[in-house]
Each structure stands twice: as C-alpha cells, then as structure tokens.
Structure 1
C-alpha cells in the first residue's frame, strides 16, 4: 500500500500536479475499521465473541491503568492498523484508490470479518445443535434443599479453591519455561491431577473459567438478557445452581478474595448471587493489608495475606468454610510481578517478565499452603488449585503454542488418593469433582455438563469430542435464557453479600 502511495507521490512531483488533500473519506472506511478492530481483538485476546465483549464492557472491563498498559504492549499491532487505515485514505485522496477498487475493498472487508458474518449466519440459519445442550444438562437444584444435607458427612470438609491466572499446565515444560510451576509440583503429586484438561468454548477468560469450575457449564451469554440482570438486578446467572448455592444450603461460610475490583467482568455479582457472604476486591484488600498494590488493585501477596487472615479467623466460628481466592500474576500481556518476588524467582534476568510473574505467584501460593499446614489450618480441608483459563496472547505465546496446551487442575485433601486423570476432561468437570470430594451426593457422578473425575464415568468431552461440544456451546439458544432468568428465591439474595 505504501509502495503505491510513494509511487503516486513521485508521479505527482514529476508532473507538477496541484497539491491535494492527504486524506479522503472512502466507501470502505467503516468496513475497514470494523475489520481492523476485529484483527486487534484477535491479537490481544486470541478470540472474538460479541457476547463476551459486551458482557465485559457492561460488567466492568479493567482499570484505566491496565487499559493503557494493554495499548502500550500492542503498539506494533496498532501501528500496522493505523498504516492500513490511514494509507487507504491517503490513496483515496490521491486518486489511486478508484471507486471500483474502493467498492471491491468494501465487499472484501465485510465478507472477511467474522464480527459480521458469524451473527448474520446464526440469524439466517437455525443451527440443528441449538437445543443440544438442554438435552444433556444435569440439574442439581435439588441438592440445595435442606433435606439433601442429611446425606453429607457428619463433619463437613472445608474448601480452599485458588484460581491461578493463566497458569496452564503447559508451563510445566521446564526445558522451555524453566521451573515456573516448580513451587506447585509437590501439591500436584499428592493430588488428583488432571493432565489432559482442554479449554472449551466460552471458558477462555477469567469469569468464564470461574463459572465453568463453579457451575459446570461454559459461560453462556445473550447480550440483552445478560445486561438486564447485571445492571437492573445485580444478578449473575441467577437461574443456575452453582457450587456456592449448594454449600450455602449446608451452612458454609463463603468468602471470595481477588486483587481485581469486584466489578471486573461481574465477578463480585457472580459470587454474591451464588451464596457468598463476604467479598473482597482490590480496593478492600489494599485497605486492609499493607503493601503497594498493583496496576489494577491488590498484589498477589496482599490477596494471599488477607486470605490467610480469613482462614485463621474461620477456625473460631465452627462453621465449614469455602474460601475462593483469585490471584493474577500471570495475566497477559507480560504478567504482574509482585514486589516481594523481585530478584527471588531464580529465573534468568533475561527471561520474559511473565515467567517471573507466574513463578512468583506460584511461590506465594506454596508459602500460603505451607504456613496454613504449619498452623493446622488445612485439616479436614479440600484444596483445589487450577488455572482459570489458558494464557491469552502474551510475550511467550509462540513458545506455548509449540505444545498441546492444557489447563492445570489438582485436588487434594483427606481421603483423596493421589492419582493422575489422563483422560480428556474440561473445566466443567471441576464442579462435580469438588462436590464429590466434599461428600455431596451426585446423580451418577454428574452435575450440569461435568462428570466427577474421582469416578470412572466418561466425561462429556470424551463422549462428544471437543469439536462437537464446542459447536453445541456456540449454537445454544435454550439454556442461555433459563440461566439468566431470575429465580424468585434470588430476589433478595444478592443484597446479603456486600464488599467488606
């Protein structure tokens, strides 16, 4: 394009043509912008989905500092986009971009843009898989009835569930990434460890991974329905029965601690809707724990320090505890290295910052667990460690893509035999596996779309194959409506859980 523009400039100089405008509006301008916007989102997040985009914007995206950081880290992509966008305008101004070529470009940008073609195709053709998921969904709402609690073990087990940002199992390849996962290996070896956990459609961001692990389903979204319940009712998937709902009915005291603001992608609303009584986001953590914080809120060190205080205090009230922790060091594009770890990861100084950040977070988690064990706080406790999703495009994506990428999941505790689950699984299987480990009876070891990995039944992704499962997820237009339909019992529930 620039070669055409330079050639055109040279011809103008030779022929002494009168000076013209450097930029003109062209017919393909808006289609070009939309196409380049799609290219940008694909480069930053690795995928594009209208519902996910609107949900993130509506529920809360990021702090301004993180947005600026993202823009800075994608400078090369932005530069290429500007070159194309402005270059076409310059060619139009000089007459090189003829009307016929402009129309052809407009048609190309419209036809080549999945942002437009996917929703149009979905609206025109009813996908035969549109109700497939509804026929395979296992509803466990009955487990929230008081009578169901009678079958639970006499002394309920506590639960500590740690979502580790982007810490996928692929990082265990030490030859490529060093020992960034080393601090967690001792826990993985004494756990039920899933080594072949794939990433399904609509489980590829933090809140989607949380929903999948807590509710046994990908995050199915419909923009207008989602927006209504998030903005008007402060409800997140109110029609779905999740882990927190089951545990609340059994008397659990549930807390969620994250370094991100609670409004980030609706995480606070999700946990408040589903039985959590104490919510601590970045601002609450920073206010309670000494430290410098981070670009987006609280550092992982602060998050884990506060979580430890909650764990220690919970031992006094006699109620079973469910403590969910979200740490964020491995977040793309280049990670967030906690000050506490600077110079202490043991990795080469030349290693990308994100590798230092991932190892730092894992070191802090290991310290948290060791300290809790030393004080006797892990007795009768199920410990779950998992990546929330595979890493989004980052400074080490090329290296990650050399391998068959898999999520990280390990579950340990009293009565759980160390073993490796090598069969194909997905994050939705974590939900019934946790319930099973806590002694909650399940219908045939199933819940929602998940199958307990403590049993011997094939998972849904094994039975269908990932491709068909993903196709059914994209096609669904039945369950998405029921998941976001308000249950009468939920009307006042969200108001009970507020930031502390």
Structure 2
C-alpha cells in the first residue's frame, strides 16, 4: 500500500483552502447579521443563538446555518477560482463555427496563482472577511466600551430595598403581562405606528383609551431600547428591578449561563420582593421552561413567585406529558390558565400579583395557532394580530370580574422585536423610531405628562408601583423613574437614549460589586 506523503505543498494547499472556506463563512455570516439583526447588540445575538440550543425552539441556530450553507459553498467556489488550475472551454459567442468541417473552439486558461501567492491571496481574503464580520457585530465598539468606566450608578441608582415606599390602606391587585417582542411599529400610521393598516388594532385601542406613555407628541409611542435589556430575561430584570443584565462579567459565558449561578443579580431588589414583603400572593405563568436563561432564579430569588411554566402544566395535567408546540405550549392555553389562576388568587383575602409571559410572537415568524385568522399575507403579521386579539379578550374578561375594581393591568413588550428584516419592511424610507409597547389599565393614579417622554423599560418599575397607588419617595427606584411624576427619566436627564446607552455600555464597579455579584457566586 502506497504511503501518502504530507508534503509542504500539501499543507500549503490545505491551509489556503481552509482560509478561503472560513472567509466565505465569515462573509455570509456578516451578511446574515446585517439582514436579520441589523443594529442589534452582540449580547442579544449571542443569547438568541446559544439559548436556542438550550431549550425551547432548539432548531433556531441550525435552521439559520442550513439556510445559509448553499450561499457559503457558492461563495467558497468563487473564491477558489484563482487558486484552482482549471481550463474552461467555450464556443465563441455560443456559436459553433465550422472550418473545413471541423468545429472550432477556443480555450481560455483562467488565471492561476502560484502557491506562494495563493497563500497570500487566501490570507488576505480571510483577514478582510474577518474584519467585516467583526465590524458587522460591532465588536470594536463593544470592546472599547468595556475599557471605559461610568459613575452612572453611583450618581443615579436608588436602592429599592432602602427606598421609602408608602402603600395605600387597601392594596391593589396587579396583573402584569409581558408581551414577547411587542412594539408600536405594528400600529397604524394614523395613530403613531408604521403600518398602513394596524396589525394590532386591539392593543392599539387599549393603549389609546387608557394610560400609555409615548415618546411622540401625539399617538402611540413607547419605551426606547436601553443597552443590555434587549432579550426576555433582561427585559424582565429591567422592568421588575430597574437594572440591566450586563453579563460581560460572567467571564465569557453566554446569557443562559446565568441560570448556572446560585444567585441571580443578588444585589438587585425587585417589584416581586417589595410585594412579597407586603403580603401579596404571586404567580408567574409562562408557556416555556422557566429555567431557560435563569428566569426561574430571577422569580424565586426576587419575590418567591409560584411559577407555572411548561413543566408545571405537564405535571399538573393541564397538558399531556408529550405535548409541545413552539416553546412549550401556545398563548391560547396561557390565557386560559391565567383566567383560572386569577380566579383562584382573587378568592383569597390577600392581594395578588399575577404575571404572564407570552411566546407566540417570538421570532422567527412566530407561532400561528390554527384558530388564528389569516387576514394578512405575512405569517408574522397574522401572529401579532392574533396575539393582539387574545390579549384584548383576556383584558375584557378581567374587566368583567368582581376583583377588577381593585386591580391594575399593565401590558408591556419585553423588548423590541429581533426579526429586523420584518420591521425594516414596515419602516422603509422613513426615520421611524421603534419603541416598546405599554399600556396601564385602571391605574390608581393619573398624569397629563404621557406625551413627548423619553424613557426606557427601567421606568416601568417605579411606575408600576405608582399605578398600584404606592407613593415612591423621590420618584425613583433602581435606574427607573416614576412616569406618573414630573421627575425626569434618565433618558431625559442624559439628553437622549444614545447618551444613556453609552454610559450603560461602560463598566461599572458599583454594578459589578453591589448588584451583579454581591456576596459572590
């Protein structure tokens, strides 16, 4: 048997081919990021991909890879041409010329680089593609921000644990609904959205007929996206504790690794903890697994919630043991279970805090229930439209219940949608500012300062307490400001969301030592 010799020439060719394949992969990855995620932060993207493999819609990463592999190999083939010695024969202008009854053909030898130059060419393409990939993900700016420090927390953070809070004699119930990826872009242009025909007419009406804070002078608007709040558990931390989830401090681990920590944001003090101390019964219902991303630790360590998730539904016979769609079970079931739990909680003599997290509107393209109407050509439109209708029906049901008189309902998107191409179509040719949806229904207080507000989801924290009739001394908790007050939010104080985000992206000794890793992990 002839022994194969791995000569220097062999290794040089292998290295050259490998570099070109990586170049093709990086270039397509940069294109995919620009098309799908556009300006999304790198934290959000890493979380989405890694956690897609950890639970729920587990084929997210692999489907993205499989969809783009043909493009990778096509580009790889093109990049290989200068280093492949090939002869291409073609008939001049596609016509066969006969001369003396002999077909005349012309041959062209494509340029072929000598091995030395082939290596230089391959390395150059690799470095160019790597540079484009790094820039598309905003890594230079991300790293630069981590070399800077901020005094944002020292100057503005209000520790909720020591803040003075005065509850009313009769404590109000709270129903808080986190709507996956719900933003105002899908509302009608006539009322502040960017759609010719409203995709979410019921949610639009709920916001316009109740209290809804807007960044616009008129019409529907909402919270501006703050750094490190752009995925579900981070959005929950922002709205319930007034802090971002900045886990560059985890030492290279992904977002889901937060679930591995014994303590989740141990220095934070949340709405759940405040209401627990005030004697509230608290339940959180979600159709996915609560352990995903450490949400179970956020809820149990910051409020001792009773968690009714996908696994709970299986264990308690709400669904069969082998039932699973999308991330677990669909929102249709979520709202049915919420009706049952709200009725149970209301039968107690204690106030309650019932929180829900929807999932059908998660990208890519969402989950379209078979009972949902299909009035739009785009599936994601139909999914959002169905979600809007389901939320409105649930709200209407709550309003028909005896306990509603003393209950405040708050509806908020958890973060902006991540399916960038979908929203680009809605906002093409405009400078439309995408914002996160919010509506306060039956709050215990009112304000005439709901318009022209620059705010973030941090501000939902003290505003929720204010909506329950709680007086917040100083009108701030965490990094949030009570929107029902006349006090400026941090986004307003810093002159805009860009300036505030620049500070949030920087390192903070206060955040690292007193909020993220207090008492160690």
User: Is residue 322 of structure 2 the alignment partner of residue 296 of structure 1?
Assistant: no
Q: Please list, as runs of the form range in 1=range in 2, the aligned pairs for 1:326-365 lying within 5 A after superposition.
A: 326-341=357-372, 343=373, 347-348=375-376, 351-365=377-391
Once the 2 structures are TM-superposed, how far is the Cα of residue 485 of structure 1 from its aligned partner? 1.6
Q: Please list, as runs of the form range in 1=range in 2, the aligned pairs for 1:189-338 lying within 5 A after superposition.
A: 189-196=208-215, 197-224=223-250, 230=258, 232-285=260-313, 288-290=317-319, 293-338=324-369
Larger Rg: 2
Q: Please list, as runs of the form range in 1=range in 2, the aligned pairs for 1:442-481 lying within 5 A after superposition.
A: 442-464=472-494, 465-478=496-509, 479-481=511-513
Distance, in Å, in 1 between the alignment partners of 2:501 and 2:288 is 29
Contact 1:385–1:409 at 8 Å: present in 2 too? yes
Question: SS state of the match for residue 347, structure 2?
Answer: helix
* CA displacement 1:244-280 (0-9 Å, x = unmatched): 1211111111111112221222222221221133112
Change (3 A) 1:466 1:187: same
Contact 1:65–1:296 at 8 Å: present in 2 too? yes
Alignment-derived partner of residue 206 in structure 2? 187
Distance, in Å, in 1 between the alignment partners of 2:189 and 2:41 is 33
Once the 2 structures are TM-superposed, how far is the Cα of residue 487 of structure 1 from its aligned partner? 4.6
Contact 1:285–1:303 at 8 Å: present in 2 too? no
Contact 1:198–1:427 at 8 Å: present in 2 too? yes
Alignment-derived partner of residue 161 in structure 2? 141
Q: Report the aligned-residue RMSD.
A: 3.4
- Greater shift in the superposed pair: 441-450 or 32-41: 32-41
Question: SS state of the match for residue 163, structure 1?
Answer: strand
Distance, in Å, in 2 between the alignment partners of 1:382 and 1:130 is 36
Distance, in Å, in 2 between the alignment partners of 1:410 and 1:482 is 32
Contact 2:326–2:360 at 8 Å: present in 1 too? no
Distance, in Å, in 2 between the alignment partners of 1:115 and 1:451 is 35
- Greater shift in the superposed pair: 129-138 or 428-437: 129-138
Alignment-derived partner of residue 182 in structure 2? 167
Contact 1:421–1:453 at 8 Å: present in 2 too? no
Question: SS state of the match for residue 465, structure 2?
Answer: helix
Once the 2 structures are TM-superposed, how far is the Cα of residue 101 of structure 1 from its aligned partner? 2.0
Change (3 A) 1:124 1:322: closer
More helix by percentage: 1
Aligned residues: 458
Alignment-derived partner of residue 18 in structure 1? none
Distance, in Å, in 2 between the alignment partners of 1:477 and 1:52 is 20
Q: Please list, as runs of the form range in 1=range in 2, the aligned pairs for 1:337-486 lying within 5 A after superposition.
A: 337-341=368-372, 343=373, 347-348=375-376, 351-393=377-419, 396-402=422-428, 403-417=432-446, 420-464=450-494, 465-478=496-509, 479-486=511-518
Question: SS state of the match for residue 213, structure 2?
Answer: strand
Contact 2:16–2:118 at 8 Å: present in 1 too? no
Contact 1:254–1:278 at 8 Å: present in 2 too? yes
Distance, in Å, in 2 between the alignment partners of 1:445 and 1:83 is 58
Distance, in Å, in 2 between the alignment partners of 1:125 and 1:449 is 19
Alignment-derived partner of residue 168 in structure 2? 153
* CA displacement 1:22-44 (0-9 Å, x = unmatched): 99534465566456545444544
- Please report the TM-score for the alignment, with normalisation by the length of structure 2: 0.77
Change (3 A) 1:74 1:452: farther
Once the 2 structures are TM-superposed, how far is the Cα of residue 340 of structure 1 from its aligned partner? 2.9
Distance, in Å, in 2 between the alignment partners of 1:252 and 1:380 is 14
Alignment-derived partner of residue 114 in structure 1? 134
Change (3 A) 1:454 1:116: closer
Distance, in Å, in 1 between the alignment partners of 2:310 and 2:57 is 14
Distance, in Å, in 2 between the alignment partners of 1:377 and 1:114 is 54
* CA displacement 1:184-216 (0-9 Å, x = unmatched): 234223422112221122222222221111111
Structure 1, unmatched stretches of 5+, are 1-20, 492-500
